[in-house]
Amino acid sequence: MLIQSQSTKRKNCSKAWRSACTFLRPRLKCIDGELCLITGAGGALGRLFALEFAKEGAQLVLWDCNTAANEQTAKLARELGVQVHTYTVDLSKRHSIYETATKVRAEVGEVSMLVNNAGVVAGRRLLDCPDELLERTLLVNCHALFWMTKAFLPQMKAKNHGHIVTVASALGLFSTACDYCASKFGAVGFHESLTHELRAEDLDGIKTTLVCPYIVDTGMFAGCEISLIPPLEPLYTVQQSMKAILAEQQMICIPRLMYIPFLTRAEHTLNSDKIITSLVNPPRTVKSNQLCKD
């Protein structure tokens, strides 16, 4: 009787745990028919993102500087039965982004989901890296986020509907590789500021998700010495990111261990942020001649 009683208790506990997990599991939104633009779609992560969004029924707009790789991604996505539109774009050039964005609006429609995924890395020490490579890393990984968002956010704001995803990096939460980390620091800061702006304007229909994975095994960091944690599998990284996106989660660090540098950073800045916010309520616009005044 005692054994049966213990067995029954274990079964009841197991049922209760499953019920709790089901109750606590976030509801995933439907994106069937949404128009999703993905940058860097010809690369490893971009291609996987495209296929995952296609499985959810989203129409795709794929941007990449490599036409052949982008078309290969499009071919794979079309096999899943979705409409796909491809554009060759140099994200390091502002005019290329704005001109192509105009084409997308005219030829395809209004983008409702923007996945800023494209990224590059020089992979050299500061004094060994040519200025041109440093500049390109910052332009693609950081500056392009501003230009992409300025190009597509107005249509989202008009309908109070949309979702902006920033694929940054856990390296944007702590410093190692100089050029890449600086650009990802900028990406994280940009995304956080954008989220605060949307919140301040009560645009609750526009969601944001910040994706901060550890180094992913895409070949981008080939030759780098990596200790402790092995590089992440690309498919696992994208699948975890998709869960966060569909759950409208504001941020995800992959693996969970990467939340540690974020929490450490947050702990250092929390008190100062509270003080600054309580003392300063920035105006909606600042005249340029005010920037030089004390």
Question: Side chain identity at 147, as an amino acid letter?
Answer: W
Check the CA dihedral 143-51-152-162 and report its sign. negative
Does 180 qualify as catalytic in the annotation?
yes
Q: What are 59's two structure tokens?
A: 């129409």
The β-bridge partners of 38 are: 62, 115
* Rounded distance between C-alpha atoms, residue 209 and residue 174, angstroms: 19
| Residue recorded with tokens 């100089």 | 178
**What is the three-state SS of 236-249?**
HHHHHHHHHHHCCC
Q: Is 285 left (phi over 0), alpha (psi -120 to 50) or beta?
A: beta
| Catalytic, out of 180, 214, 236, 259 | 180
Which residues participate in catalysis according to the annotation? 180
